[in-house]
């Protein structure tokens, strides 16, 4: 009798598992889903997505599926069903329908990493309110009046210190340069007088940011979560100290945020404030340092581009009454070829492999249906490296941007800094840092590559063996 029950139970379990696997591979939909594979139950195609690659082209995960299924396909990553779009028209539609048919969304693992109340997870009024707060620091007025000169001073000091060393690992060095400046502006952080190295926690955080979400000791994801935990602990301590100092003057951006918390009816909570500071500290330096490292590699490998860049900046010096005076705002805005170099760098770098949104209702488009609740991953590399949009797309050709309008937001064919309502609020700050760095570099220094510079994507961009550079003052032989 017991044996019969066991056999019957086993049959029922097998039938249930088969049905469950079938439902996983064939999700319900009121219309026609895009073609594609949902992969293994629960895991989906996550392992393939995170497989390292060294190509400069469209990531193999995406390219292989584009060949098989077309520009729009379905998949499943970290347990969530997704539609992946490499179609410029659909991408543009997704960004334009923010807050209507789509809303900002990231997989659950990203939410755990950045905090459940991070700015990317907030919508409507709350998002616009936080954006207005951030623009106090990164908006055009503060860039012109304060950050332009602060960035130049930081870059000159850094280049001077690097030129006395036999070799500098560029990604690490530029990360430190940018983090120290932005952390000072955000939280008055002084690494030389602090017992806690905040940047080390962010380095640990970054290493596992785009990794397989296995939270056990020894994995990159676990290190990422520990880095977040330690950084948040420091920020919470700082918040309490400032709240217990009622007579403290407003000195930095964190003080401005705390002033918002002190209002009779504050719009934000302490959790939102802390998650905001965490995201800003991360976003303010990681992507910019990667872009600068890629720019240096591309300039080193393309002397013709470097020569024209030098000519533009040497012309700026020639027109100054005092060659040693600081950069003016008008000089910065005149750096047309420099902005072409920056655009081309971020187009090729594709630092952000995917931008996520979620359908808030069933959406019929391009002959397919995106079910309510499904994620949509817009894939910038597939657009930026499309030969029908960019001739010879893998070539570093800044001249392709000549006479193009200045990019003040994302477009159908360029979304390196996002698009729609959520176009990167720090985009102008990023461009300013890169332009000032390149100006100081080519007018005052020479350099040579020592070793490294190999890129690996997992799928985020990284330099596993670094990029080691030796700097020389131009007055040196």
The angle at the Cα of 23, spanning 21 to 24, to the nearest 5 degrees, equals 60
First to last CA, the chain: 93
Count the neighbouring beta carbons within 10 Å of the beta carbon of residue 314. Answer: 11
Q: What is the DSSP letter of 30?
A: S
8 A C-beta contact, residue 341 and residue 438? yes
Does 29 appear as a known binding residue? no
Residue with the two structure tokens 């000195």? 251
Beta strand pairing call for 467-473 and 445-452: antiparallel
Q: Dihedral, CA atoms, 371, 375, 380, 382, nearest 10 degrees?
A: -60
408 Cβ neighbours under 8 A, 6+ residues apart: none
Angle between helices 253-261 and 220-243 (to 10 degrees): 70
Give the integer Cα–Cα distance in Å for 208 and 227.
9
Q: Dihedral, CA atoms, 126, 129, 133, 138, nearest 10 degrees?
A: 100
Is the previous residue joined to 459 through a cis bond, with omega within 30 degrees of 0?
Answer: yes
**Which candidate, 397, 428, 402, places its Cα nearest to that of 337?**
402
Query: 116 is written with which tokens?
Result: 């459940």
Query: 206 is written with which tokens?
Result: 């970054």
Give the integer Cα–Cα distance in Å for 436 and 380.
26
Query: 20 is written with which tokens?
Result: 């469950």
263 Cβ neighbours under 8 A, 6+ residues apart: none
Query: 225 is written with which tokens?
Result: 């979560």
Strand partners, 364: 369
Give the integer Cα–Cα distance in Å for 445 and 413.
35
Which amino acids are annotated as binding site, given as ranges?
A: 424
What are the binding residues for heme?
A: 424
């Amino acid at each position: 009798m017991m044996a019969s029950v066991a056999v019957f139970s086993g049959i029922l379990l097998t039938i249930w598992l088969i049905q469950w696997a079938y439902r996983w591979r064939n999700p319900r939909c009121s219309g026609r889903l895009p073609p594609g594979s949902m992969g293994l139950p629960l895991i989906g195609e996550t392992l393939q997505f995170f497989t390292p690659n060294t190509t400069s082209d469209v990531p193999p995960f995406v390219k292989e599926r584009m060949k098989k299924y077309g520009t729009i396909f379905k998949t499943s990553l970290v347990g969530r069903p997704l539609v992946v779009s490499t179609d410029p028209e659909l991408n543009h539609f997704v960004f334009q329908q923010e807050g209507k048919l789509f809303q900002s969304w990231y997989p659950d693992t990203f939410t755990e990493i950045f905090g459940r109340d991070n700015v990317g997870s907030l919508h409507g009024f709350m998002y616009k309110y936080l954006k207005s707060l951030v623009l106090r620091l990164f908006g055009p007025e503060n860039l012109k009046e304060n950050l332009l000169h602060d960035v130049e001073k930081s870059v000159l000091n850094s280049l001077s210190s690097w030129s006395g060393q036999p070799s500098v690992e560029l990604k690490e060095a530029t990360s430190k340069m940018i983090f120290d400046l932005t952390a000072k502006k955000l939280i008055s952080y002084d690494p030389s007088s602090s017992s806690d190295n905040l940047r080390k926690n962010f380095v640990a955080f970054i290493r596992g940011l785009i990794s397989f979400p296995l939270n056990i000791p020894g994995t990159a994801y676990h290190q990422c979560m520990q880095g977040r935990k330690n950084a948040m602990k420091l920020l919470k301590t700082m918040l309490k100290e400032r709240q217990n100092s009622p007579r403290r003057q407003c000195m930095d951006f964190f003080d401005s945020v705390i002033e918002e918390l002190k209002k009779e009816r504050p719009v934000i909570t302490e959790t939102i404030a802390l998650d905001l500071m965490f995201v800003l500290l991360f976003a303010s330096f990681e992507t910019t340092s990667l872009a600068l490292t890629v720019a240096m590699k591309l300039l080193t490998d393309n002397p013709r581009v470097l020569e024209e860049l030098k000519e533009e900046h040497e012309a700026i010096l020639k027109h100054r009454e005092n060659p040693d005076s600081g950069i003016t705002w008008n000089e910065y805005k005149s750096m047309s070829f420099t902005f072409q170099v920056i655009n081309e760098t971020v187009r090729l770098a594709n630092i952000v492999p995917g931008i996520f949104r979620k359908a808030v209702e069933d959406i019929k488009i391009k002959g397919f249906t995106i079910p309510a609740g499904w994620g949509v991953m817009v894939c910038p590399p597939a657009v930026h490296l499309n030969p029908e949009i960019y001739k010879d797309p893998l070539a570093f050709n800044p001249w392709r941007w000549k006479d193009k309008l200045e990019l003040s937001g994302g477009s159908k064919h360029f979304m390196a800094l996002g698009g729609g309502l959520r176009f990167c609020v720090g985009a102008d700050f990023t461009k300013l840092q890169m332009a000032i760095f390149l100006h100081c570099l080519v007018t005052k220094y020479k350099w040579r590559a020592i070793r490294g510079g190999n890129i690996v994507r997992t799928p985020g961009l990284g330099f596993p063996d670094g990029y080691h550079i030796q700097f020389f003052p131009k007055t040196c032989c």
